[in-house]
Structure 1
Amino acid sequence: MKIRIEDNSVRYRLRRSEVDTLAEKGSLWATTNFPEGNFTYGLQAQDGLTELRATYEEGKIILRIPKKWIETWPGSAKIGFETELKWNDAALHVLIENDFVCLDRDIASQTDQYPNPKV
């Protein structure tokens, strides 16, 4: 799973096996280790949700996604999920999407990515 953070935007990209794992286990986590501590980010499927949610808790970015969405995502034509979370005078853009093959890299090393629609 890859994460991209730019200003008030968070984007997760998931490989095929990661989408499958998320659907099977209900969560997916990644950690980057620093000498001062760990940075953790992940996805959690949750019953009863009707839209994406994002929180920052105890050094973790957690995107919560409706469980129904996750159950049908593997094998579907769905590319991802997107929302704009607003509160007070702020907003956070959240995007969770398939990780496509990069056309400027060795395609043979990207066997777990989704086919690039531009090919």
Structure 2
Amino acid sequence: MKLRIEDNSVRLRLSDDEVQHFGRTGRVSSSVRLGPHPDDQLEYSLERLPEGDPSDTVRILYASGSMAVRVPAALAQQWVTGSDIGFSEKLHVTETQELRILVEKDLDCRH
């Protein structure tokens, strides 16, 4: 899974295998090592919200060393099984600042 952070946007691009894994398990993750210690890394993930969760919007959770993009179950299912390449959401992180989240299938990707 590729992570791109630029200005006020976060983009995740998933290979076909990762999209299928996400469809089966509801979660796909990766990490990047940022230093010599085991804790010196950033883990990033795409997670499907549980069925019945009342949220109908994409969310992002951040904690020290971890970032998770959380997607409503219906949207996740539609994206995995449908022909749409991606989906996006704009979140208000402060009164004057938005964060754009974009999740895409990277189907031509050859890792």
Instruction: Note whether the superposition's TM-score is higher than 0.5.
Output: yes
- Mapped partners of 1:69, 1:24: distance in 2: 14
Does residue 77 of structure 1 match 2:83? yes
Contact 2:16–2:107 (CA under 8 A) maintained in structure 1? no
Contact 1:19–1:73 (CA under 8 A) maintained in structure 2? no
Local SS of the residue matching 2:19: helix
Q: CA deviation at 1:100?
A: 4.3
Does residue 43 of structure 1 match 2:40? no
> TM-score of the superposition, structure 2-length normalised?
0.84
Local SS of the residue matching 2:80: coil
Letter of the 1:53 counterpart = R
Contact 1:31–1:40 (CA under 8 A) maintained in structure 2? yes
Q: CA deviation at 1:88?
A: 1.7
Letter of the 1:44 counterpart = E
Unmatched 5+ stretches in structure 1: 103-109, 113-119
Once the two structures are superposed, residues 35-63 of structure 1 have per-residue CA deviations (whole angstroms, 9 ceiling, x without a partner) of: 25011111110032311101211221110
- Mapped partners of 1:23, 1:12: distance in 2: 15
Determine which structure has greater relative contact order: mean sequence separation of CA pairs < 8 Å that are 6+ residues apart, divided by chain length: 2
Once the two structures are superposed, residues 50-102 of structure 1 have per-residue CA deviations (whole angstroms, 9 ceiling, x without a partner) of: 11101211221110001122223334211111011013221101000111437
Q: CA deviation at 1:2?
A: 0.2
- Mapped partners of 1:99, 1:66: distance in 2: 21
Across the two proteins, how many residue pairs are aligned to each other?
104
Q: Which residue of 2 aligns with 1:89?
A: 96
Structure with greater Cα Rg: 1
Identity percentage of aligned residues: 32
